[in-house]
Amino acid sequence: MISAWRGAVALTVLIASLASAAVVIVESSSPQQVSSWIGVPAPTSTLPGGLQTSLTAIQAPTPNSVAGFPYDPLTRVGTVPANWPSAESPGDYYFDPSHPDSTNTSNPWGYPDQPRNSPPSDVLTLAAGSYVQFGGGTVSGAEDWDWTCNGTGADPVYILGSVGAQINGDGNSWNLLGQHCIVDGLTMRGTRPRVWFTSGFQFGTLKNSTFDNNNASFGGRLVNVIGNSTTRASHFVAYRNSFTNIGTIPKATSQDLAAFGITYYASYIWILDNDGVEINSDFVVIGDQLNNHPDPADPSVNVHYMWIAGNRSSLNGEQSIDVKSAYHVVMSQNVFEDMDVNQGISGANVTNIIASNNQESNHSGPVWMIFNTIKNFSTGDLVRDSGTYNDANLYAIGNVMHTGSDGFQIDWGGTSGNLTRTRFLYLINNTINNVGEGLQGRRLGSPQFHQVEMHGNIVTNTTLGVYFDAINNASVLNNLFWNSGSAAAFQGPFPPGWSTANQVMDQSPLFTNAGTNDYTIGAGSPAIAGVPEHAAYDLFETWYGIGIKFDHSGAARPLAGNYAIGAFEP
């Protein structure tokens, strides 16, 4: 079993005081402990394998069958060229148009004492081990760049920023092609500050970079990863990047704009410890609109194996995460907050997470929401699963959700021509407080091929604990309902097995301090009575080779025998 990953990284810089200028050069790394992400493999570990080829049944992955990165992309940095700062190093570039001695004349490469003002061409080919640094000033024209990185596992290409250096993009995207490239510490601005890892890029890293487009109006994705039918994009890490004020703010109309877009023909994607604040539309979009899908009949085209962990997203116009078409997506220990009608797009469905948006695309497989905090959401729904095709299965485990219109909303739409198999939603050991309805299940259209399991959750301070509209295949067992109206209301057939005798009813869970959003439980809580372990915990480990038997705080569970009800062990 691979243990929960504990990443470590820091960027150490060498500041060289030179006669002509102060130059900041990336030199080496030293460890800095960061948080542990449950259920997320290290990029260097052996990964699960296998692509979905069936539209009628989920195909289990093969654990530990695909090699990861040959180096740690979070800590890997390059070696400063030996000739710098006083002489050029052929194959390595240094740009700083603010330097008094910068020139493009008879200066093919640039170096810290005499930088270039800009790249020598929009089209560059960078050999293995190439070292490219933006040392200062503002370099424009990134919208026209096509750079091919010919890095290797032993010698990646390095593209680095520095304090005070800025790259402007004002049109199309800066396209990176090839393999093994580490982009570190850039500041991207302009009307379209976009970096795309395209044409089946392999082993790409974007870290410690800042994107701020100063409220310009445009659509699309700032960072995009996409392959093609010939070459699948794979092994991409985005780590500790910041996206602020992206798109038109205030967000009067949607620009269909996202910080991250992982589109098609892409596998093994890590989105880790990034910040997205005041984005016109979405923080992360996975897949694309159905009319852009290369082959709706082929599920292998969709994104496979994606881990979104430790991120923070707030004040965005539409969604924090929008899953349109993907298989084996894990969202772990993220914080999504402060999205409401005053921040969101007028008339748009402002939803923190859309776990399966098949109304816009064709197919999704298992999506795991584990140990996230989703809060402060005054309109719309915290989570919506609107899948209309088969197997858009959602596993929600150990999440804390509070202060929203509704907790989990399931809109199963479609017609008899779309749904031909049972689709599943599992809500396991979550804590839900101060929302309209803890679980709202609505079936739109027919037939009723769907199943809900609600197991071991705490649902408090809601108008209703559970509301079902014509969903007739559900299991609601071993939950704690308190101050939740009549606890449940059903239209159409009652779910088999529903009984207040199978729940903990009308008893306070004795949260430590709900007023400060501390939903841990202490001695005497009726939630300690516990529930049996749900099979989903073992399923995750079987599929991915990683254990997730933890509570929301990262403590191992169960402490003894049964699991405590809700997201926390006492």
pLDDT in tens, 341-380: 555 555 455 667 777 655 565 567 789 999 999 988 755 5
Structure tokens of 7?
Answer: 């990443």
Helix (H, G, I), strand (E, B) or coil at 281: coil
Is the separation of the CB atoms in 197 and 183 below 8 Å?
no
Neighbour count for residue 57 (Cβ, 10 Å): 11
Tell me the pLDDT band of 420, cut-offs 50, 70 and 90.
very low
Q: What is the pLDDT of residue 415?
A: 41
Please give the Cα distance from 241 to 206 (Å, whole number): 8
Hunting for tokens 């996230």 — which residue is that? 372
Q: What is the pLDDT of residue 293?
A: 81
Is the separation of the CB atoms in 198 and 66 below 8 Å?
no
Residues 511-517: what's their mean pLDDT?
95
Confidence check: pLDDT of 315 > 90: no
Out of 19-33, 85-99, 280-294, 545-559, which region has the weakest mean confidence (pLDDT)?
19-33
Which is higher by pLDDT, 182 or 407? 182
Please give the Cα distance from 328 to 368 (Å, whole number): 8
Closest CA to 462 of 433, 440, 505: 433
DSSP code for 540: H
Is the separation of the CB atoms in 570 and 559 below 8 Å?
yes
Q: What is the pLDDT of residue 187?
A: 96
Q: What is the pLDDT of residue 445?
A: 43
pTM attached to this predicted model: 0.91
Q: Which residues pair with 458 in a beta bridge?
A: 431, 480
Is the separation of the CB atoms in 151 and 129 below 8 Å?
yes
Tell me the pLDDT band of 338, cut-offs 50, 70 and 90.
confident
Phi, psi of 527 (to 5 degrees): -70, -20
Helix (H, G, I), strand (E, B) or coil at 500: helix
DSSP code for 336: E
pLDDT per residue as tens digits for the range 187-244: 998 877 889 999 999 999 999 999 987 555 666 889 999 999 999 999 999 999 999 9
Q: What is the pLDDT of residue 217?
A: 60
Is the separation of the CB atoms in 6 and 38 below 8 Å?
no
Q: What is the pLDDT of residue 20?
A: 31
Helix (H, G, I), strand (E, B) or coil at 518: strand
Out of 91-100, 120-129, 277-286, 494-503, which region has the weakest mean confidence (pLDDT)?
494-503
State percent of the chain over pLDDT 70: 78
Out of 10-19, 42-51, 433-442, which region has the weakest mean confidence (pLDDT)?
10-19
Residues 305-325: what's their mean pLDDT?
90
Residues 56-72: what's their mean pLDDT?
92
Plot region of 273 (φ>0 → left; ψ -120 to 50 → alpha; else → beta): left
The whole-chain average pLDDT of the chain stands at 82
pLDDT per residue as tens digits for the range 522-570: 889 999 978 999 999 999 999 999 999 999 999 999 988 899 999 999 9
Structure tokens of 123?
Answer: 């089209």
